[in-house]
Structure 1
């Protein structure tokens, strides 16, 4: 983790074109130990009070499907650790969404996206040393004179190397 998948997904999720192009936007952090019931409740597009008594997958799935039926959905499934979240839980439930609906998945393992039958898989790579140095300079506001920056570069490059190209670590 820490390469920037969630940050990139948030930028996409909050983009004006997503706001304008979809009638429903949902962000769900799936995580390693996700719970079917809570995940379905998070995706439900209605008043959460409507689901107060529902504690089973079989009672929630039709309500979620009905709440999203015919709506153009943009769903982010963040930090997915297993394809089961799609294959066993959401695939059939989300079939009622309008054409043009999209699901953006972030996962540490590319194979999970393949198992979920993802159409367009994008890898977010670690930063190079130069990119890491540039980001560190921006974060600590090293906009001063070239001489000052050079004085700090040795120690800064040690930090950059320890962070191993992970923007979150910088």
Structure 2
């Protein structure tokens, strides 16, 4: 009996692997999981909890002071106590002074960049949209300006026509 050559052994390995019991069981489990996931998807997406979590928030702003909560309040108080000494130590360290100097240069560079055409375009693209109430007010004001402009244009054209006659 002769041993298989390297190319034969390379082609036998994938065949043996694809026919193995472990691979068949893994594929079968994956197929079963896909069927279960397909059946569970409508149940999940139609559930009250899913709809509640994915609904659009109300436009009214609700402010919660986390300092008054039992879960987050202690952590905030701890940070309030630790932040000032850590900040003082950072500001007086060499690394802190270097970081402050570098950040100052970065801010100045960023201000210069925003004055360029590309910078203005980036600012306009990243700017948050105007609230609907403000947008409606601007549209209303613009419409009123258009009406006034069109009336004044009509008056001017009437004056020109009367001069010609």
TM-score calculated relative to the size of structure 2: 0.18
Q: Which has the higher helix share?
A: 2
When normalised by structure 1's length, the TM-score is: 0.18
Return the structure number with greater strand share: 1
Larger RCO (CA under 8 A, 6+ residues apart): 1
Question: Larger Cα Rg: Structure 1 or Structure 2?
Answer: 2
